[in-house]
A and B are shown apart, each in its own frame.
Chain A
Amino acid sequence: MITRIRSRFGPEIVAVVLLLMAFGFSAFREPRFLDAEYLFDRSTLYMEAGILALSMTFVIIAGHIDLSVTSILALVGAICTTLVSKHGLPPAAMIIIAPVVGGALGALNGLLVSKGKLPSLVVTLATMALFRGVAQILLGDHSLPMPKELVGIHKIQLPGTYFHIPMVLLIILAVVAAAVLHRTVWGRWVTALGTNAEAARHAGIPTGKILIQLFTLSGVAAGIGSLLMLSRLGVARFDHARGLELDVITAVVLGGASIFGGRGTIFGTITALGLVGVVQTGMGVAGVKAEVQVAVIGLLLIVSVLFSNITARKRGR
């Protein structure tokens, strides 16, 4: 039984152990880590990455990648705040428009990958520049304010607890994502697509449709992430979330999703996101500069893939 669990959930167990170790070490160095209020306050910084990581888990399990999510996040923010402040859109409409616009941008990626038969890596590399570029055209070097009514939802807590709204949202979405990935036919199809795309197609799985749905989902997640980031920071800027794709992809891969597709869990992704958060917060407390923190996350990404390559080889694939 134990060996079976170990062989099936090895990467997730590693992520949990690493998270506990990082947490223990940080708490030892910095007692504030044991203060729930402090932890929940810090966690608000990682909710956008968390939502992007959920959809990225699906994309990576399907054997693809979406580098453009953070650019979609920035562009959705630019479009929504422009519509509100210059064209009189009611602020509440943003809640609908953001995911819709994000989904449309993601669908464009999906169409290019699915109908255009183009590799997702280069398509999303190009749209990463394109989408952020359009955001830059819209906003230039300025910031557009988020309508006041929508600012600061990360400061609203469930009564009597430290759980803030974005975290409640992330928890709900994570549960839904886990159910879809592990308990529905669609989730199995995504996994099958990543295991062997050719075989999946011959088995009658609508692979083309699934690809479009996957990238659309990724865009919708970026739209929701955009709302959270705008609400947290209070303004839209073209360079929002620049480089965040590194954190997102690291969380997914570190959480046990195979970069070659076919394997991964939502539980692992969320655990690894917690690990990334603890490591960054710990370094921040210790006075490590942001650029060096990025280097450590990059190292974490490479080591996690190296590690899974080695264990895969040991098992004889």
Chain B
Amino acid sequence: MSPALNTDFLRSRLKLKSQQSELLLKTRHPSAVAFLESAGVRPGSIRKHAAKLLAAGSAAGTILLSPSPNFSLRTALPPASQSVSISPFDLHNNLISQLKSQLPLQVSPLDENQENHISQTLHANYGIHASAVLEGNRLNRSYGLIGAEQHLPRYPGDSISQHDQFQKSGITPGRGAWGYFAPSKLALTPDLIEKEKYYVAVQTLYLPDWSTRLPYLRDWYKHRKVVVVNPKNGKAIVAVIADSGPAAWTGKHFGGSPEVMGYLEAKDGKQRGPVVLFFVDDPQNQVPLGPLEYNLENPPQLMSS
């Protein structure tokens, strides 16, 4: 008798492999991935998209040929279409309606109860473990206004022409609060490219214990993974903390990289908008950076027909 499979171990190994391959694809071909995603398809979910096309074609044919006025569309569709997991569009709409009842009318600090409810909502929709407090650390705000930031130089000598997207956003003249991402262009890895692409700035300098616990907090916050959610359109994106700011006088609480802001569309006429920003609890580093468009614990499944 062959030994039993350790399902949890296998799932975790396969998920990691899948996420690494997705990251590599996004790093090497960002425009292609953005092109497909703008058409509502994640590359890894192409089979689900194919099943939808098949179902739509099949349903259209059946409707045209059906003599019965009591025709049930759902039962006529192939099983594939009945098991289609929730689309990004529906995920966004679910989040909009749930957050509407959990967030205050005005952008203001959240209480613990509100933060806990939002953590549960994010987990239920996206399968992500995110919270306002992680390992005893919390930011000054978990719900606030985000503004657009420029690109950060990733290594000495980096220029805007070296960044593949959002070049019009420009690049900051100085380094981010945590320095360069890599000591040289040669040392820049796909992982670090992703980190600059999906970064946020947070107001660490206003933390009450920032100066007294600087060595510990500086390391803890460096490239700390967060999820940023625009409650107005339900879009969520995973990013890392890579800069400090903005200054309190701006009235903003967070800053977002050009890619983060481009995806969240979190800008009003004053170039700012409300977002929820929570830490992601991801000790195994399994949550990929970038737009969240499916439930991480219930990834799109292979369709059967």
Are A and B genuine complex partners? no
> Measuring CB to CB, which residues of chain A are less than 8 angstroms from any residue of chain B?
none
Instruction: Report which B residues bind A (CB closer than 8 A).
Output: none
